Structure formats: C-alpha cells, structure tokens
Amino acid sequence: MRGYNKQFGELGENTAVKYLENKGYTIIETNYSTRYGELDIICKKDGILIITEVKTRSQASFGTAAESVTKTKMNKIKRTTEKYIIQNNIDCPIRFDVIEVYARKYNDEILIEEINHIEDAFWV
C-alpha cells in the first residue's frame, strides 16, 4: 500500500508542476528537504517566490486536501523556507500556496479529476 501512496503523491506533485508551468510560473526546485521538513515546489512568478504545498487525495469525504495543512505542517514549511532563504540569499516577497490534486484509480491507471490552486493559502 505504501508504494501506491508514494506513486499517488508523486503523480500529484508532477501534475502540480505541469499546471504551474502552464500558468507561467518558473519552477526553481522540487522536493527541497532539510531536517525541518520538505518544500514540495519552489517557484517564482511576477517577482514573488512561491512555496507550494501539494496535497493529493482520492476524495474529500474526510475534508479537503488543503485542510490537511495543519498548523504543525505550516510551521515546518516556515522553518524549511527560512533555511532555503538563508541558504540561497533570497530577498523578495514570499507567498505560500496549496495545490489540491484529486485523482482516482481506474483499472491500473490513476486519473486526475480536479486541480484546485489556492493562492495565499496561509501566512506564517
């Protein structure tokens, strides 16, 4: 089951990258990791550094994907972002987005059903 969840999550992140590129975002890095946590997608548009958390779900019956970005998760994202900013000498506005990817398994394929991009999803 873990292999399927990993594949499902990777598909969601790859879908989000393509979505952002199609919207004119420049992808800087994906899966940036420190001891504090991981940033799914780091991108830029209109001079703003955008940290994007991707949540992939098969259904919203237990809440939306974005609702799973808890205060604890936000704090991990904040600490990881601070590390990234220092490490890369970043000096520009920063925004935190969430992309929800809803997909379902059909036969042996995973099909994307919906993508929701929530800009300025949270502040830290």
Answer whether 103's CB lies under 8 Å from 53's CB: no
Answer whether 111's CB lies under 8 Å from 13's CB: no
- 0.85 surpassed by pTM: yes
Torsion of CA 52, 45, 48, 80, to 10 degrees: 30
Structural domain boundaries of the chain?
A: 2-118
> What does the pLDDT profile of the chain (124 residues) look like in tens digits?
456 667 777 889 999 999 999 999 999 999 999 998 999 999 999 999 999 999 988 765 566 767 778 889 999 999 999 999 999 999 999 999 999 998 887 787 777 888 999 999 987 6
Q: What is the CATH number of domain 2-118?
A: 3.40.1350.10
